[in-house]
Amino acid sequence: MSDIVNLLVNVGQAANVPSRQLVRSILGDRATWKPQLGDQYQSEFASFYPPTFQALRSLRSIVLSPGLRRDVAKGSARIDHPVDGQKSSPFPKERWFFINGICTDRDVVMLNATMLHQVFGRPLTVLYNACNGVLLDIAECAVGKQWDTTTDAASIALPELLDALRDPSIDKVVLISHSQGTIIAAVLLKALEELLRRDAKGYRVERHDPSPERKVAQHIATVIDRHGNPSKLRPVDRVQRELQPEEIAKLELYNFANCATSMEPFVELHGRLHPWLESYGNEYDLVARLGVLAPTHGTGSTRIAGDRYIRRGTWGHLLNVHYLYAFVQERAARPLGVHTPLEPFAGNQRRWPKLFEYIPRKPDALREAAE
């Protein structure tokens, strides 16, 4: 009963945006409804321009239920994002992954991946989370964190993440997630903790964690441990050796509109907790208010550790137009001393996001973005 009460209070607090403008909390202000963001980037609304069959297909992907869409029939999967014909990465010791959020078909997820590549200059692998239509996706963010779609997406993503962490030629593994993808990232984090607890006792930060993400993670870790799949999960045949604490220290998670219930570091090495966690939320983003912007104590609370940032007075939930483009502008404004609505939470280790450090320094482009 207490879990149900906590859930209801959490959802009620999240929906308490000014004037109950729930549509605005997702789609943002009308001024943001444009396909082009400056001269370099495209927003999610680009999938609706020109208003032809492509727009109708995108609208269908956002609205319709899973049984009516070919997109869902393909399911969650790994997608390698093309990097302008580039054969090799300029950052060979890094691996970057992206898990998409709600209402994101494969056309929109490629718009997200393209902008991530443009902003950070890294090739990346999309760990595609198949969307289920706006209503089911939002419901999963709020109450469905143990549904099969979350389990399937996490079970497909975990082997990819393990391969990168165990690769001795890789020094850094970066996982960027958005919206519903942050729930999957939280499941992955807890699955890694379950594997490490089994493989290297003594490195786990002990805590009582009955979160829905933990329950999914325990199931996935059990399936991986058996090297087979008695249920619907894909067999995992690439788990070759034990996970090491030093490999967890390679990992960094950056979470836009984090709506997970629980996300915490679990390895302590040399006096520091790993992996590194950062989360960002627009103040009136309904989905972010379910997680990173929810209270940290009491009924309706969540446990999102790491550095957290809130963008005051802002609306909208879409990754490109409401988060990434603002992120570029804020990175540009920082050295110029220009005030931005991005504020760190009390207790943060850093005044500015660590993710800023991965945006290549291009003075002209940054100055233009700031203006």
Extents of the domains making up the chain:
2-370
E strand map for the chain: 36-37, 41-42, 77-80, 94-99, 125-128, 172-178, 251-256, 262-263, 267-269, 272-274, 276-282, 303-304, 307-311, 342-344
Q: Nearest to residue 327, comparing CAs of 352, 349, 350? A: 352
Record the tokens describing residue 252, joined without a space.
Answer: 């960094």
Q: What was the pLDDT predicted at 238?
A: 41
Q: Distance between CA 93 and CA 86 in Å, rounded? A: 16
Q: Helices 180-199 and 148-166: crossing angle, nearest 10°?
A: 60
What is 227-285 written as a DSSP string? TS-SSSSPP-----S---HHHHTTEEEEEET---SEE---EEETTEEESEEEEEEETT-
Note the pTM of the prediction, 2 decimals.
Answer: 0.86
Instruction: State how far the Cα of 32 lies from the Cα of 319, in Å rounded to an integer.
Output: 12
pLDDT digit string (tens) for the chain, length 371 residues: 566 777 778 878 888 888 879 889 988 999 998 889 988 899 988 877 655 445 445 544 544 444 334 444 356 677 777 655 445 678 899 999 999 987 777 888 899 999 999 999 999 999 988 776 555 656 666 666 655 567 788 888 999 999 999 999 999 999 999 999 999 999 999 999 988 876 555 444 455 567 888 888 887 877 664 443 333 444 344 444 578 899 999 999 999 999 999 999 999 998 999 999 999 999 999 999 999 999 988 888 899 999 999 999 999 999 999 999 999 999 988 877 677 899 999 999 999 999 999 998 664 444 444 44
Dmax over CA atoms of the chain, in Å, equals: 58
Task: Residue 173: name the closest of 115, 81, 73, 247 by CA.
Answer: 247
Predicted local distance difference test score (pLDDT) of residue 105? 79
> What are the Cα distances from residue 251, in Å, to 37, 127, 174?
30, 16, 6
